[in-house]
Amino acid sequence: MSYGNYDSYNTTSYGAQGGAGGGGFIPGDGSQNSPSGNKGYGKDTLRPVTIKQLIDAQPMHQEGEFKVDGAEITTITVVGQIRNISVQTTNITYKLDDGTGTIEVKKWVDSDAAQNGSETKLADNMYVRAWGKLKSYGNKRHVGATVIRPIADHNEISYHLLEATVVHLELTRGPPDSASKGANTNGAQGYQQLGYGAADDMGPTGGMSATAKKVYQCLKTTPQTNEGLHQQDIAARLNLDIAEVSKAGDDLLQLGVIYTTVDDVTWAVLEMD
């Protein structure tokens, strides 16, 4: 899939009804159905995000609208684990945690579904995917959800994180085609700007500092889960100071050879063809 033209992004492999090819239009979202909700219809999108991205989202001039990575977000999808459930008369609030942060997800009670028993039962510690819009009330942000469903295949958790990473990288660094075409020049400039040496030393570890090479090789060769390795684990394995590992990690992130996973100090190697 391509995210180069963000306004056209409206698909994810995990659809709102649990099937493949879900679109950017969420059932029950009044902004799609009512004349008053047609504002911005042409650029309505469905974007996978982490909770940290929602917490850090920049408010726009229009009240209730936000930007992430400089791009306006409309409908978002987030994956997380339920830490708490608060049942009210008109809505149910779920506190979701995805490892990058926590946020409340509110869903209005569907009285018809509740009466006929078709409402999905969710419980603490269950992993779920939610679709909705980022909202702010009283300087506190939450997701107003239209759909929340439990996750049956736990590969979806890793898939969502990777998909959110792809969109973030394309919006901040451009699509892969432009990145590969400019690799010989832009990549060289990146190494030189970080003080790592000449442009002709451009292998996977070419031009890196000695500590950065050690950290990179540790991440590359150590058996690990999809979450990668925490900087404390790397420091212990390499017998290095945390500050040294942190600096090397920052340099590797700037070079684009590793990426953050569950938080800012847990990294995995970015495999490139």
Amino acid at 247: K
Determine the pLDDT at residue 42: 46
Q: What angle do CA 263, 25, 128 make, to 5 degrees?
A: 40
Angle (deg, nearest 10), helices 231-238 and 210-221: 110
Amino acid at 115: Q
Task: Spell out the SS3 assignment of 72-94.
Answer: EECEEEEEEEEEEEEECCCEEEE
CA distance 154 to 239: 34
Determine the pLDDT at residue 180: 52
Cβ proximity of 216 and 269 under 8 Å: yes
Determine the pLDDT at residue 252: 86
Query: Edge-to-edge strand order for the sheet containing 71-73?
Result: 58-59, 66-68, 71-73
Determine the pLDDT at residue 198: 38
Determine the pLDDT at residue 60: 85
Determine the pLDDT at residue 163: 92
CA distance 41 to 74: 10
Sign of CA dihedral 15, 77, 122, 155: positive
Show the domains of the chain with their CATH numbers.
6-153 (2.40.50.140), 184-269 (1.10.10.10)
How many Cβ atoms are within 10 Å of 7's Cβ, its own excluded?
11
Determine the pLDDT at residue 3: 40
CA distance 122 to 120: 6
CB neighbour burial string for 168-207, b if at least 16 within 10 angstroms, e if fewer: bbbbeeeebeebeeeeeeebbebbeebebeeeeebeebeb
CA distance 26 to 207: 48
Mean pLDDT by 10 residues, the chain (273 residues): 42 42 40 42 76 92 83 93 93 94 91 64 94 90 93 92 91 71 47 39 63 91 86 92 90 83 86 58
Determine the pLDDT at residue 125: 94
